Amino acid sequence: MFKFLFLILVTLFFNSKSLFSQTFVEEFRLGQEGQQSGQFNRPLALAVSQDGVLFVVDSGNNRLQLFDLEGHFLKTVGGFGFEADQFDFPTDIWTKSLINIYVSDYNNQRIQRYDRQMNYIAQFSSNPNWPEEFQFGQTLSCAVNSQNDLFILDHQENKVIKFNRNGQPERFFGHYDSGPGELSEPVQLDLFLNNYLLVSDIGRKAIVMFDFFGNFIKLFSDSQFVRPRGLACTKDDLFFVADEGAKMIFSLTSKAEAARPWNLILQQPLSSPADLVTFSYKKATRAVILDGHQLIWGRLELDQ
C-alpha cells in the first residue's frame, strides 16, 4: 500500500514539473514603435505556421509582418483599406489549419482567407439573410478545427458563432444569456486538446472553455489574473496565458486548480505582454513573447 501511494506521489510530482514549471530564458529581442519593417504599432497577436513562419498582427499599422524563426524579416502583407488584401485594424490570425490562413479584420467586420503563401483567396462576412443571432460585427478572433468548422469571436455581442465547412451558421454561445459560459470582455480564441475551444476573457479575468457544440465546460480563474489576453496551446494537456495586466506568463492544464507563473530570465521586465507563441526549433522548445512593441525570443525549459 505504501509503495503504491509512493508511486502515485512520484508520478504526480514529475507530471507537475513537466506541465507547470516553465523557465523562459531570453535570447534576443527586436522591434520598436514605428511604421518601417520590423517596427510595430499596437501589435496584438502572434502565430507560427506549419511552414515555420512567425506572423505578427501589426494592428495599428493595418498589416501582417512575417519573420523566420530566427527573427529575420521576410515580408509585409496588407495595409490600410477596405478592399481584398487590405485591413482596418486586424486583431488576430489563425495559422493552424492544413491549407488556409485566416485573419480577423476587425473594423472591416470580416475574416480574410489566404493560402499558405499568403495569396488572398476570399473574405467571409455576416450575411443579412441569416437569423439575427448569427450576425456578427467586429471580428476579434477566429479558429478552425479539424472538421473545418469556423469559430468567430464577435465583439459586438461578446459571443462565439460556429459555422460549418460550407459556411453555414450552426450555433452561437457565450452571449449574455449563457449562464456560467457568459462572456464579458473576450479577446482571443484557441483550440485545446483538439476537442475544446478556449476564450480569454479580460472582463471575467479568466479563460473560458467550451466544447465544439458550445457547451460550457470549465472556467479557469486565478487571483493572479489581471488582464489575461494571449493564448498558446500545446499538443499536450498544457496551455499558456499572456496577462498584460499582471505582466506575467502563466501555465495551466485542463485539471489545474491554479495558474503557475513562468520563471522569466529577461534583460528587462515585461511591460504589457499581449500574446505569445511556442514552437520547436533546432531540437529545442522556443517561445516568442509579444511585449508592447517588441518581440522577445527565448528558449523554454523545464525547471530543474
List pLDDT tens digits, range 65-117.
999 999 999 999 999 999 999 999 999 999 999 899 999 999 999 999 999 99
Query: What's the N-to-C CA distance of the chain in angstroms?
Result: 29
List pLDDT tens digits, range 130-176.
999 999 999 999 999 999 999 999 999 999 999 999 999 999 999 98
Report CA torsion sign: 68, 69, 70, 76. Answer: positive
Report CA torsion sign: 15, 19, 21, 26. Answer: positive
Average per-residue pLDDT for the chain: 93
What is the Rg, in whole angstroms, of the alpha carbon atoms belonging to the chain?
19
Residues 219 and 208: beta-carbon distance below 8 Å: yes
Candidates 20, 22, 17; CA nearest to 256 is 20
Residues 232 and 239: beta-carbon distance below 8 Å: yes
C-alpha 103/C-alpha 35 separation (Å) is: 20
Q: What are phi and psi for residue 115, nearest 5 degrees?
A: -85, -175
Could you give the 3-state DSSP secondary structure of residue 10? Answer: helix
How many angstroms separate the Cα of 180 from the Cα of each of 117, 138, 214, 257, 304? 41, 24, 12, 17, 38
pLDDT at 254 over 80: yes
The pLDDT assigned to 67 comes to 98
List pLDDT tens digits, range 32-70.
999 999 999 999 999 999 999 999 999 999 999 999 999
C-alpha 289/C-alpha 26 separation (Å) is: 10
Q: Delineate the domains of the chain, giving CATH numbers in brackets.
A: 2-302 (2.120.10.30)
Instruction: Give the strand pairing for 263-265 and 22-30.
Output: parallel
How many angstroms separate the Cα of 116 from the Cα of each of 48, 55, 94, 135, 288? 12, 12, 11, 28, 21
Share of the chain above pLDDT 70, in %: 93
How many angstroms separate the Cα of 258 from the Cα of each of 205, 269, 303? 13, 23, 18
C-alpha 246/C-alpha 264 separation (Å) is: 13
C-alpha cell at 200: 480569454
